[in-house]
């Protein structure tokens, strides 16, 4: 019987899960519980071997959410007792300085994740709620926490340090941590395999462009620069986040516009990026608006690609030599226009995109640079669930 891991990604009002067969790398079942603790009924969706099941029922908290998921597995399959579940893998966003690799969850680890919550107030508390609920449901199984920040623990001091007062920085843990680490790790390893090289032999620029977006410079398999910082707000333009702004924008909005800290937090995290500039956060809607002649959408797309190119150039300079530029996640995998615009005009760096190879959505790993190009440009679909499952199995043996 091959080993299976239940991968859980728990948000403030949602639980996403996948049952991964680590032997084949396939997801055998998965689903989503939404509207947890929002008053009305929660919604559940479960995809298994026998098709899709949708349901609405009260889901007052994460415990109830996990119980509802277990009921679905029991009723429509596959049976968790029969598949040979070896671990539950949990995505945790912020591991701080403490967690540089996956860990087996015990009460002390739970407490440490809670202590790190001030650094990730939107993410760590719901991640922890999911862990607690799953530990209640599966007390006999090992639970492994896999941290978004862990892959970036190799950032050199010069890359992770903000140029602010060192005592303030140390006291409050103010530094660049980086996120999307499981995706950057998975995509880096797959890219090395596709290039026919060992992971520690390749220098890569990996652009994870989903609703959240970050870009990482990888030297010899290790993250040496990444665009997200203390929180996932810094760096690239995203669906609803601004990415880089002059920090003085915040003081200005406080002093001149009279906005509160919470209002500015909401503005920059939820009402900026593509939705702020174009009025829609999904890149497909942005392209539709551009095609209809919407000047704001055109500008938003230009800002998005301009920022992306800016980082590609900066990371090329940091790495000195680049073997490949890799696109992944929703926009990176599906959006040929963004891939083309972001890398246009970089021929002198050896970066060229072949229009025919680039055209269309990429469901599988695809080279989009011409044969013989100095830098290989690829699309590598990410698989964070598989990465979490593999890391969990590696830890529990
Ligand atoms: P996340 O995991 O961050 O929620 P995903 O990696 O699933 O996000 O990416 C979702 C985003 O991918 C959508 O918001 C949308 O902008 C983009 N996307 C999905 N499909 C397409 C497509 N066909 N063309 C362009 N962008 C797409």
Q: How far is the CA of 286 from the centre of ligand 1 (A)?
A: 12
- 9-51 pLDDT, tens digit each: 998 889 999 999 999 999 999 999 999 998 889 999 999 998 9
- 185-242 pLDDT, tens digit each: 999 999 999 999 999 999 999 999 999 999 999 999 999 999 999 999 999 999 999 9
pLDDT reading at 2 higher than 90: no
pLDDT reading at 308 higher than 70: yes
Report d(CA 116, CA 98) in Å as an integer: 9
pLDDT reading at 1 higher than 80: no
Mean pLDDT of 111-124: 93
Give me the DSSP letters along 193-251. HHHTS-GGG-EEEEEEESSSEEEEEEETTEEEEES--SSTTSSS--SS---S--THHHH
Residue 354: exposure state from Cβ atoms within 10 A (0-12, 13-18, ≥19): middle
Of all protein residues, the one whose alpha carbon is nearest to atom 4 of ligand 1 is 211
Question: Residue 6 pairs with which residues in a beta bridge?
Answer: 19, 88
Q: How far is the CA of 335 from the centre of ligand 1 (A)?
A: 9
CA dihedral sign of residues 159, 147, 130, 236: positive
User: pLDDT averaged over the chain?
Assistant: 96
Residue 335 makes CB contacts below 8 A (sequence gap 6+) with 209, 283, 287
Count of all residues that appear for the chain in the document = 397
| Residue 330, ligand 1, Cβ within 6 A | yes
pLDDT reading at 180 higher than 70: yes
Q: Could you identify the residue written with the tokens 């998005």?
A: 304
pLDDT band at residue 394 under the 50/70/90 scheme? very high
**148 labelled catalytic:** yes
| Residue 381, ligand 1, Cβ within 6 A | no
How many C-beta atoms lie closer than 10 Å to residue 351's C-beta?
25
| Residue 212, ligand 1, Cβ within 6 A | yes
341 annotated among ligand-binding-site residues: no
Mean pLDDT of 301-311: 98
pLDDT at site 130 = 93
Q: How far is the CA of 9 from the centre of ligand 1 (A)?
A: 18
Tell me the pTM.
0.95
Nearest atom (ligand 1) to Cα of 382: 6
Q: What is the percent of the chain where pLDDT is above 90?
A: 95
3-state secondary structure of 146: strand
Is 102 in contact with 145 (CB distance < 8 Å)?
Answer: yes
Probe residue for ligand 1, chosen from 91, 237, 283, 291 as the CB with the greatest number of ligand atoms within 8 Å: 283
pLDDT reading at 333 higher than 70: yes
- 352-386 pLDDT, tens digit each: 999 999 999 999 999 999 999 999 999 999 999 99
| Residue 211, ligand 1, Cβ within 6 A | yes
The Cα angle at residue 389 between residues 225 and 52, in degrees rounded to 5: 115
Q: What is the percent of the chain where pLDDT is above 70?
A: 100
pLDDT reading at 345 higher than 80: yes
Of all protein residues, the one whose alpha carbon is nearest to atom 12 of ligand 1 is 330
| Residue 210, ligand 1, Cβ within 6 A | yes
Closest CA to 379 of 396, 393, 360: 360
Nearest atom (ligand 1) to Cα of 213: 3
């Amino acid at each position: 019987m091959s080993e299976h891991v239940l991968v859980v990604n728990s948000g403030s009002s949602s639980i996403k899960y996948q049952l991964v067969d680590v032997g084949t790398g396939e997801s055998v079942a998965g689903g989503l519980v939404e509207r947890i603790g929002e008053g009305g009924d929660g919604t559940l969706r479960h995809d298994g071997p026998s098709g899709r099941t949708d349901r609405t029922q009260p889901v007052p908290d994460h415990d109830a959410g996990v119980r509802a998921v277990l009921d679905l597995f029991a009723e429509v399959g596959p049976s968790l007792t029969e598949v040979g579940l070896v671990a539950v893998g949990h995505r945790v966003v912020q591991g701080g300085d403490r967690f540089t690799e996956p860990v087996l969850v015990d009460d002390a680890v739970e407490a440490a994740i809670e202590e790190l919550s001030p650094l990730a107030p939107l993410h760590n508390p719901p991640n922890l709620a999911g862990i607690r609920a799953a530990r209640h449901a599966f007390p006999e199984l090992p639970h492994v926490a896999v941290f978004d920040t862990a892959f970036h623990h190799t950032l050199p001091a010069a890359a992770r340090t903000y140029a602010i007062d060192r005592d303030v920085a140390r006291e409050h843990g103010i530094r660049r941590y980086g996120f999307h680490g499981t995706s950057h790790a998975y995509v880096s390893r797959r890219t090395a395999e596709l290039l026919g090289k060992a992971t520690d032999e390749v220098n890569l620029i990996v652009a994870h462009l989903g609703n959240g977006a970050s870009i990482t410079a990888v030297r010899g398999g290790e993250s040496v620069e990444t665009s997200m910082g203390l929180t996932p707000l810094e760096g690239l333009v995203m669906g609803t986040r601004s990415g880089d702004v002059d920090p003085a924008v915040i003081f200005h909005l406080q002093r001149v516009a009279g906005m509160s800290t919470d209002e500015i937090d909401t503005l920059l995290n939820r009402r900026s990026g593509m939705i702020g500039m174009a009025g829609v956060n999904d890149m497909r809607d942005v392209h539709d608006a551009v095609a209809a002649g919407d000047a704001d959408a055109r500008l938003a797309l230009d800002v998005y690609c301009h920022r992306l190119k800016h980082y590609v150039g900066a990371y090329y300079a940091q790495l000195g030599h680049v073997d490949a530029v890799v696109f992944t996640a929703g926009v990176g995998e599906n959006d040929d226009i963004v891939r083309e615009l972001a890398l246009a005009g970089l021929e002198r760096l050896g970066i060229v995109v072949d229009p025919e190879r680039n055209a269309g959505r990429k469901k599988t790993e695809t080279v989009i640079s011409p044969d013989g190009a100095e830098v290989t440009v690829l699309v590598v679909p990410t698989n964070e669930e598989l990465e979490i499952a593999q890391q969990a199995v590696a830890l529990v043996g």
